[in-house]
Structure formats: structure tokens, C-alpha cells
Amino acid sequence: MKSSNGYEIYVHIPFCVRKCDYCDFVSFACGADVHKMYFDALLRQIDETAETVGRVPVVSVFIGGGTPTVPDAQYIMAVLCKLKEKFDVSPDAEITIEANPNSASVEKLKVYKDAGINRLSIGLQSTEDNELKMLSRLHNYEEFLETYRDAREAGFDNINIDIMSAIPGQTIESYRRTLERVVELNPEHISAYSLIVEEGTPFYERYKDGKGLPDEDTEREMYYLTKQLLHEHGYERYEISNYSKPGRECRHNLGYWTRVPYLGFGIAAASFDGEKRFQAHSDLKRFCAGDFSAETETLSETDAMAEFMFLGLRLVRGIAKADFKKAFGRDMDEVYGEQLNKLATEGLLINGDQVMLTDKGMDVANYCMSEFV
């Protein structure tokens, strides 16, 4: 990998208490012995990578999963110490950990805070206990509230809450209750995704024909309600599914959408050096045995330009033509003039020095992105 002015780091912790029925992330329920083997391997992988890339500057760390709060907190501490030992982690780096209620005790949260983690992302999904049950989540709303209070008590002043729409049985009214209760808690950031029924999950077998899921019109209504209600409560949308208080956007994800290079550690983690992408395998046994191999994909210039467009246009602020020129030495209009004009004529895109989707364009973002692929 080539060196760079600043890397992001993603660490994948693939452990969960139990697999949720809708989940297609690389995650497993394993015992403490497997946790130990995994973290031992993870530390070795960080050592090996540092030998290759050198002591690169790091601007953000994201510890995701799985549920990183499931294993002993000392393991997370060891990973952070190792990252700081091997890389030049900026003193003001954003360091996030994902947490689920029921596995994030106040003691654990305090250990994370002391270890330098300064952002917490809590998976709530819904404040309705029947919907949480439907998703086979292990917590109820009350337990989430406890975790949220514990997080504030532990000193976290930058918290994201994940919520979900289009859950089986969810109605506009119940989704509105979720939104209202969440804004009442006043987190700094809210991620609002729609449930996707992924092939290979138990949900796929149950809902592949769409029966039992909110219909398309209801789903659309939920989408508009999210935008409107969160805006009324001081949350600005900065990406298709992400909302924050001013200045509290997730810096790590912003980096991902603007193609900042990143190093991935753990099974199934991807890395990107600005030109090539590396996709690690997802075999836990192989990883614990020290096989850190990854498939390399070299992006052609056409792929890289397309990626620049469809990742950047996810952001409400869009992309600067000057940045495109800097990245590829070519004018955006010369490469994508036709597509930009078409989308602008359809009222879906603003085609100035800064290119961005209109509100209407954001609503049909998949259609707009497909123009660039």
C-alpha cells in the first residue's frame, strides 16, 4: 500500500450474543476462548500491516461489528493501544465504537472512554418492544434507555442512535413514536436506515415475497417523516440516511464517502489505498490461525471516477468539480457532462462548481447514482 496524508482505520469485531434474524453482517455467537484467539490474531495483523505501510497518520478509528461491546473491554483497550503504538493516531481523531444494549455495561463504557474512545454508536432500531422482538433483537426499549443513560454517565458526549424503518408490522404511528422518543433523548447523531431483506437470512425466507412488510407507499411516507421530524428537531441530513446536530457529522463515514484511504483489520474488513481495494476473507478459523490474506481489486480510472461520483453524491453538500479535477486531472464535465445535464434537466441535480443532488434527486438517489456506473 502507498502511504498517504491520513488514513482511517476500521476494526471488525464479529461477535454477537446471538444472530438477529435479519442480519447479513459477518457476525457470530462465540465463546470467550474464540474471542481471545481472535484478538491475539488481530494484534498480530496490526503489527504486520504496520510493518508494510509504516507509521501512517490516522484521522479516525471505527470499531464496528458484530457487536464490539460483547467481548471483554480489555481486548478493545489492547487494540487501541496497539493502534496508537504502531500508527500516528491524531490526538483529535474521532474514535467510535458500536454498542448494543445488554452488552454495554457502565463499567465497560467507562473503560472505552478511558481508552480514548470518544464516540458511541448504539443500535436501537425501534422504541417499540414488539418490533424489537420481531427483529429478534435481544433488548427492549427500557434496556436501551439504561445503556443510553450509562453512556452519558460514562462521559460520552457524542452519541449516534441507529433506527430502522420498514420493519414487519411497523406502522407510520409506531415509527413516529420511535422518532419522537429518540429526538427527546437529544443524541448528537441519528442514522435512519430502511430494513433490507437480505438473501440468506431467516428474514428472507419469511418475507421474500414482501408480505407482512410495510408497503412501498408506507415506506416512502416513513422516509419523508424521518426528514421532516428530524429537521424540526435540529437534525440536518448530511447524507441520504444520516442526520446530525451541527458539527456532529460522523467524520469517519464522511471520509469513506470522500474516498479517504483506509486500513481495515479483522475478518471481512476492507482496505483502500486510494487506488486499490483489499477485501479480507471472512473465515474466522483461518484468521485466528494467522491467515490475513485479502483479495486485491485494482480500480480502473473509469471505476474510480464512477465511485467518486456515486459516493460523493450521497452527501447533501455534494462534490466539488475542482476536487474531481485534482483527483483525476480531468474535468468532470468532459467525463460526465451528458449525465450531469440529464439529471439537471430532470430537476434531480444542481450542476454548478459544486455538484449536488436536489431534494427530489436524493429521494431517487439510486436512479441518479446509476447514471454514473
Contact set with ligand SF4 (CB under 6 A) = 16, 19-20, 23, 25, 27, 65-67, 100, 123
H or E stretch covering 134: helix 129-134
Residue 25 near residue 38, CB atoms below 8 Å: no
Q: Shortest approach of ligand SF4 to residue 331 CB, angstroms? A: 42
Q: Shortest approach of ligand SF4 to residue 29 CB, angstroms? A: 8
Q: Within the chain, what is the greatest distance between any pair of CA atoms? A: 59
Q: Shortest approach of ligand SF4 to residue 62 CB, angstroms? A: 14
Determine the Cα–Cα distance for residues 333 and 349; give it in Å rounded to an integer: 14
Q: Shortest approach of ligand SF4 to residue 195 CB, angstroms? A: 11
Strand ranges in 4-56 using DSSP code E only, listed in sequence order: 7-13
Of 99 and 348, the one with the shorter C-beta distance to ligand SF4 is 99
Of 69 and 242, the one with the shorter C-beta distance to ligand SF4 is 69
Q: Shortest approach of ligand SF4 to residue 152 CB, angstroms? A: 22
Of 65 and 71, the one with the shorter C-beta distance to ligand SF4 is 65
Determine the Cα–Cα distance for residues 226 and 162; give it in Å rounded to an integer: 13
- Residue 122 CA: distances (Å) to CA of 40, 119, 154, 296, 370: 26, 10, 14, 32, 32
Q: Shortest approach of ligand SF4 to residue 6 CB, angstroms? A: 28
Q: Cis link prior to 66 (omega < 30° from 0)?
A: yes
Of 143 and 363, the one with the shorter C-beta distance to ligand SF4 is 143
Determine the Cα–Cα distance for residues 128 and 207; give it in Å rounded to an integer: 20
Of 20 and 192, the one with the shorter C-beta distance to ligand SF4 is 20
H or E stretch covering 122: strand 119-125
Of 70 and 356, the one with the shorter C-beta distance to ligand SF4 is 70
